[in-house]
């Protein structure tokens, strides 16, 4: 599925100034036009004609399975990879051929990439030292970044003396010290435990709202993507399948891939019990796990029979695995519900999603 290219702003050829040399800049939008990237010796494109607008002052999350191109797109925006063809604009500047250090883009990664022999303060101010910012200015800005990341009591510690969450805060603080127009983050919380990931997500959103940063965030974690995104971009095989507000992408998936990748929508052939009332041209019918319900329906509901295969306790609910007419399906029920054997099920027609044989949502 191709997205329509956004309107293109006036081009400028002058490189952007180093973000943060004076006052913090206004957050910049990022616009990607027909971006294609092919690596040497590869027979397929890592990115294929990608069009995307990242709104200024928002969190845009790139979501998809391994190998879908999300990290490649992030690295192209950051300037760590060069496009084979296409264009990238940051603000109103054509940044396609501008080096990474001159794009006003800061980066944070999952491995933290901290210098083990430097203190917290030394790690945070290092980018400014490399840019030859004077000692007083870099110290002031490093202390400000450390305070933002709640590290001001740990300034003399080395990375080996920090927890995983504290090391990640140092990595983000080092990115923020440049007062970037754009912050890109490649699965920065994947090495943290579940509880700490929740905490760090909340802190990132709070920080982003406070500073008004433009953030591009890569993850394969659907929960993380839905929790963080102002704009959710689902990628597959080097292309964008769908982009938009996360609520819209979840509620009205544009393709069967998006439907099944986000929360594992159940899919069935548009025949048998689903044939009556199907959308014209529908080949596949989908329903979310919480839209399958135990018991016989009424009115315009569709009745089904399912064989319980297993059930997983997920805290407040259970995920029940079923066989429905030879198709595997899943159903979410309250934790105190323990279905077993063959059970009656139903689904409301209003909760169904219809897709064509090509996997595109029916109009």
What is the rounded average pLDDT for all residues in the chain? 90
> Any residues with CB less than 8 A from the CB of 247 and at least 6 apart, and which?
none
| Topology (CATH level 3) of domain 30-254 | Rossmann fold (3.40.50)
Range in 14-18, 36-40, 55-59, 181-185 with the lowest mean pLDDT:
14-18
- pLDDT above 70 for 4: no
d(CA 232, CA 226): 7
If you classify domain 264-355 with CATH, what class do you get?
mainly beta
pLDDT band, very low/low/confident/very high, at 13 (cuts 50, 70, 90): very low
- Interior angle at CA 290, CA 289 and CA 295, nearest 5: 105
- pLDDT above 90 for 125: yes
The larger pLDDT score, comparing residue 193 to residue 232, is at 232
pLDDT at 111: 78
* 140 touches 118 (CB < 8 A): no
DSSP-derived pairing of the beta strands 342-347 and 353-355:
unpaired
- DSSP class of residue 152 equals T
Q: Which of 325, 282, 321, 326 shows the shortest CA–CA distance to 304?
A: 325
Count the Cβ atoms, other than its own, within 10 Å of residue 23: 7
pLDDT at 25: 58
Beta strand ranges found along 136-264 (DSSP E): 182-186, 214-219, 231-236, 239-244
Segments making up each domain of the chain, as ranges: 30-254, 264-355
Q: Quick one: what percent of the chain has pLDDT higher than 70?
A: 93
Helix (H, G, I), strand (E, B) or coil at 338: coil
Q: Which of 149, 137, 193 shows the shortest CA–CA distance to 175?
A: 149
Rounded to the nearest 10 degrees, the angle between the axes of helix 120-130 and helix 164-176 is 30
* 242 touches 254 (CB < 8 A): yes
What number is the average pLDDT over the span 103-130?
A: 90
What number is the average pLDDT over the span 103-131?
A: 90
pLDDT band, very low/low/confident/very high, at 22 (cuts 50, 70, 90): very low
- pLDDT above 50 for 331: yes
Q: Which of 10, 20, 64 shows the shortest CA–CA distance to 213?
A: 20
* 81 touches 72 (CB < 8 A): yes
Helix (H, G, I), strand (E, B) or coil at 22: coil
Range in 1-15, 72-86, 184-198 with the lowest mean pLDDT:
1-15
Q: Per this entry, what is the length of the chain?
A: 363
Range in 74-83, 105-114, 330-339 with the lowest mean pLDDT:
105-114
């Amino acid at each position: 599925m191709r997205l329509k290219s956004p309107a293109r702003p006036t081009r400028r050829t002058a490189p952007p100034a180093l973000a943060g040399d004076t006052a913090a800049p206004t957050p910049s939008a990022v616009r990607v036009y027909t971006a294609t990237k092919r690596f040497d010796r590869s027979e397929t494109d890592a990115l294929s004609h990608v069009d995307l607008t990242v709104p200024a002052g928002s969190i845009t999350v790139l979501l998809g399975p391994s190998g879908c191109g999300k990290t490649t797109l992030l690295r192209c925006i950051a300037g760590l990879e060069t496009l084979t063809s296409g264009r990238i604009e940051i603000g109103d500047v054509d940044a396609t051929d501008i080096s990474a250090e001159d794009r006003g883009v800061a980066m944070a990664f999952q491995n933290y990439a901290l210098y083990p022999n430097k203190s917290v303060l030394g790690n945070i101010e290092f980018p400014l030292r490399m840019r030859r910012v004077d000692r007083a200015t870099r110290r002031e800005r490093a202390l400000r970044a450390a305070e933002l990341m709640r590290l001001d009591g740990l300034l003399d510690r080395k990375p080996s003396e920090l927890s995983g969450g504290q090391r990640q805060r140092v990595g983000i603080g080092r990115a923020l010290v440049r007062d970037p127009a754009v912050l890109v983050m490649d699965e920065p919380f994947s090495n943290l435990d579940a509880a700490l990931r929740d905490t760090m997500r909340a802190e990132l959103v709070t920080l982003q709202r406070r500073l008004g940063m433009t953030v591009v965030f890569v993850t394969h974690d659907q929960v993380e993507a839905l929790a963080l995104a102002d704009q959710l971009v689902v990628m597959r095989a080097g292309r964008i399948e769908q982009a938009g507000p996360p609520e819209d992408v979840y509620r009205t998936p544009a393709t069967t891939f998006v439907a099944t990748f986000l929360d594992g929508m159940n899919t069935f052939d548009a025949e048998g019990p689903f044939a009556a009332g199907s959308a014209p041209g529908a080949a596949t019918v989908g329903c979310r796990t919480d839209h399958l319900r135990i018991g016989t329906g009424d009115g315009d509901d569709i009745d089904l029979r399912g064989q319980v295969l297993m059930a997983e306790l997920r805290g407040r609910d259970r995920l029940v695995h079923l066989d429905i007419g030879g198709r595997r399906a899943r159903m979410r029920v309250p934790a105190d519900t323990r279905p077993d054997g063959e059970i009656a099920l139903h689904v409301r027609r209003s909760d169904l999603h219809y897709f064509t044989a090509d996997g595109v949502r029916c109009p």
